[in-house]
Each structure stands twice: as C-alpha cells, then as structure tokens.
Amino acid sequence: MTDSVPRTETTTAMPREARKAGVTAFIGTTVEWFDFYIYGTASALVFGQLFFPDMNPVLGTLAAFGTFWVGFLARPIGGIVFGHIGDRVGRKTALVTTLSMMAVATAGVGLLPTYAQIGVLAPVLLIVLRMVQGVAMGGEWGGAVLIATEYAPRHKRILYGAFAQQGSPVGNLLATLAFLGISQLDEEAFASWGWRVPFIASLLLLMVGLFIRLRMAETPEMTALLESRRTAKLPIAEVLRKHRLLVAIGVGAGAAGVAITYVKTTFALSWATTEIGFDRTTFLTVITVALVVQVIVQPFGAVLASRIDLRRAVLWMLLPEIVLLPLMFVLVQTGSLGLAMLGMALATVPHAMFYAALAGILSEVFPVDVRYTATSLAYQLCTTVFAGTAPLVSQTLLVATGSIWSVVVLGLGYVVVSIVCTAALIRRSTWADR
C-alpha cells in the first residue's frame, strides 16, 4: 500500500477527549441516520400510493424503492465533495454542513405535496430531496468515523470507530419507533398527514446535533496535518492514483454489513405486510425488537475484533449468517409474531457485529491526507452497489421467481463477498502487521 504522508500515532488525545469524540460521533450519526431511515420506512409503507398512484401496488412499491436507491446513488458524490473539504479544510467543517443539509432535505420531504395535489412534479421533487439526503449522508459517515478514530489510541481504533457505527441502529430504531407510534392512526390519517410527522420533527434533532458539532474540536491528526501544510491538493485524484485497488476491495468488504440491514428492514417490511399477512404495526414491532438486539450486540463485534486476530474475528462474526438468514425468512413465513421476532433477532447478530468493526478497519487502511475521501468513497460506493439496491433487487427477485428463497440466496451472496474482500483488505493493509 502506498501512503503519501507518514502515519502518525494519536498520543496527544487524552482518554477523556477520545471518549468525548466518540460520543460526539455517535450523537451526530444517530441524527443523520434517523433522517435517512425514515425515508426507507415511508417508502415501504406509503410512498407508493402517494407518489406513484397510477401504478398497481407491486409496481408502486418498486418505484418507491427506486427513489430510495436514488439517495444511495448520490452518496459517493457526497463522499467525494465532503471528503475534499474534510481532507483540505478539516473534519468539523464538513460535518456541520452535512448535518444541516440532511435535516433541511428531510423536513422538505415532510412538507412535500403528493401526486394528487401537484401531479408528476411530486415524485420529481421527492427524488431531488432524496438526492440531497444522499449527498449529505455520503459526506457524513466518513467524517464521523474519523472524529472517533483519530482521537483514539492506535490499538483502540476499531473500538472507537464503533461509536459512529452505533448511530446507525439507534437512528434506525428511533425512525421505526416514530412510525410505530403514528401507525396507530387510521389509514386515512396516516396517509394524509401522519407519515409527515417524523420528517418535520427532524428539525428538532438538527438543533441538538448542531449544538454538539459546533462545540467539537478538530482531530489531533488533522490539526497536525493542517499545521504541516501537507494537505493533498486534490484528494480524490490522489486516491484514484495511489489507492484505487484498496478502495475497490473496501467496496466489497462492507457488503454484508450494510446490505443485509435493508433486506431485513425495508424489503422485509413490505414483503411481510403484503405477502405474509402481518399488519403494519405488528411487523414494525418485529423490526423494533431486532433493532434493540442490534444496539445491544453490535459493540461486541468491535470488542472481538480488537482482541483477537482480525481475520479470524471476521469469520466468527459472519459465518453464522449463512444459517441464521435463511432461518429468519422461514420463521417470518410462519406468520407467528413470536417466531418472526426470534428469526429477525437471531439474523441481526452476525452482520451487526461485523458492521461495528467495519469503520475502524476501513479508516486505518488510508493515510491521513486522503483518509476522509478514500474511506468515504469506499463505504459510499458499497452502499450504492449493495445497500441501496438491496430492497429493489429483493423485490424484483421475489416478483420474478415467486419464491423468497431467491432473496435468501442474494443475502448469502453479500456474506461471501464481505468475507473474501475483508480478508483481502486486511492482507493488503497495515492490519496484516498487527
């Protein structure tokens, strides 16, 4: 691996500062992920009928999942744009901007007229706002991870990177709870105004997130880089010239960590309510239980990866998914609430633990002068290729084959890709020397 600047040990940050940076990363990513996830939930429940009413329900859901993917298509753009800012100006500047963009776009979705009110302009505006969300999220993740890891001691960076990762299940949990609450409304109220409440409420979360981010300091490594005047002139060019292979491998490494989540939530919510017979509130409860499990078990993945050989840890975390993911679909198909909860909870454990370690693994692969850009590009391309397409491809496979087992095979494919690429990433990076 070629580094354009020497790597530095983070010895200047005191443990208290490192913990504060971790908490800051966690709270900020929780706010951003809440905003991002409520769109996924709404696309499964209501966007098809409100913004694509001329289609039959199945095609309307596919169209709604298509707009969901638009946010993922925009995420690499955000990674490049805010990676440039983060690597040239500083992590803090980029993160304050991404948070503001996300909240404004999310509130805009909540205020958007429907197809019945303004015609084709409604889905067009929906797509535009989803793209803004995607650009913001594309710049958010890498910066939040670096705020946490660049304050941490070198041997604890996977552990501290998990602070930023924890914002994803917590944000998802809050988004699901928000929709679980408003799902108590009757169908007419839910479709007319109820679904809008979580989107508009994001403005309140913006104030909390901005208060925290405006008070945070720049990371020690970035401060040292700025003082040395050795920032890369064009980080993306440096990444493509020196680190493109590692970026490509990083794209595959994250597949299971990001894609299976959307198969189990966004796709499964639509499938279980339209094909299996679960009502909306009941299956949102199932997802809520799985998310609580994820919040609890996810940090243990970072602990495991920090204490044993990293390659062995990845295998221990991901191999059980080969059994537990098919079991989840079998149990949900029974129509039993208890068995559905059990299946979803069990299938959550492997990919959640792996996801916790993913941030620290990726962030340590690249040198500090292009780390924001390279880490963001690898992760966001991964979300575009794997996570954003997961509900759409799953629904397409289900329609084409008539069998949920085609979706199971897709999920297992994500696991295999992650195992192979993570092993290659570790072998080609400084992790192989630890």
DSSP secondary structure of 308-323: S-HHHHHHHHHTTHHH
Lowest mean pLDDT among 338-352, 389-403, 417-431: 417-431
Tokens 């329900």 sit at which residue?
Answer: 57
Contact 3, 367 (CB under 8 A): yes
Mean pLDDT score, 162-166: 93
Collapsed DSSP state (helix, strand, coil) of residue 268: helix
Q: pTM for the full model?
A: 0.86
Q: How far apart are CA 41 and CA 340, in angstroms?
A: 18
The pLDDT value recorded for residue 14 is 59
| Range with top average pLDDT, 15-19, 211-215, 257-261, 329-333 | 329-333
The pLDDT value recorded for residue 220 is 86
Mean pLDDT score, 177-193: 88
The pLDDT value recorded for residue 3 is 43
Superfamily of 15-433 according to CATH: MFS general substrate transporter like domains (1.20.1250.20)
147, two tokens: 């705020």
Q: What are the domain boundaries of the chain?
A: 15-433
Q: Is the pLDDT of residue 88 over 90?
A: yes
Cα dihedral value 34, 39, 42, 44, nearest 10: -110
Nearest partner of 304 among 356, 351, 252, 339, judged by Cα? 356
Contact 55, 63 (CB under 8 A): yes
Lowest mean pLDDT among 56-70, 214-228, 403-417: 56-70
The pLDDT value recorded for residue 430 is 64
Q: Is the pLDDT of residue 310 over 70?
A: yes
Asked whether the CA dihedral 153, 154, 158, 161 is positive or negative, the reply is positive
Q: What percent of the chain has pLDDT over 70?
A: 95
Contact 243, 374 (CB under 8 A): yes
Q: Is the pLDDT of residue 269 over 70?
A: yes
Q: Which long-range contacts (CB under 8 A, 24 or more apart) does 226-232 make?
A: 226/90, 230/5, 230/369, 231/87, 231/88, 231/369, 232/4, 232/87, 232/88, 232/369, 232/370
The pLDDT value recorded for residue 32 is 84
2, two tokens: 């070629």
Q: Is the pLDDT of residue 96 over 80?
A: yes
Query: Cβ-count burial of 330 within 10 angstroms (0-12 exposed, 13-18 middle, 19+ buried)?
Result: middle
Distances in whole angstroms, Cα of residue 162 to Cα of each of 75, 97, 198, 217:
21, 22, 26, 20
Collapsed DSSP state (helix, strand, coil) of residue 176: helix
Q: Is the pLDDT of residue 1 over 70?
A: no
